[in-house]
Homo-oligomer: A and B are copies of this chain.
Amino acid sequence: MAQGSIQGSLKERGVRLTRQRQILLDLIDKSGSHLDAERLFQLAQEQDPKINRVTVYRTLKMLKTGGLVDELDLMHHEGDQHYYETRLKQEHAHVICLRCGKVEEFFGEPLSRLRKQVETHLGYQVLIARTEIGGYCAHCQTLRAREFDELRGRPPEPPKTSEETERKPRAAAPKPRARRA
Contact = CB atoms under 8 A, between A and B. Distances in A.
A140 to B, nearest CB: 9
Given A161-B65, A162-B65, A127 B122 contact: no
Interface in A108-134: 108, 110-111, 113-115, 117-118, 121-134
Nearest to A157: B13
Contacts of A110: 110-111, 113-114, 117
A106 interface: yes
A93 interface: yes
Nearest to A15: B158
Chain A binding site: helix, strand, loop or mixed by DSSP? mixed
A16 interface: no
A150 interface: no
Contacts of A29: none
A48 interface: no
Interface of A: 13, 64-67, 71, 73, 75-76, 93, 95, 97-98, 104, 106, 108, 110-111, 113-115, 117-118, 121-138, 141, 158-163
The 3 A-B residue pairs with the shortest CB-CB distance, nearest first, are A67-B161, A123-B138, A110-B114
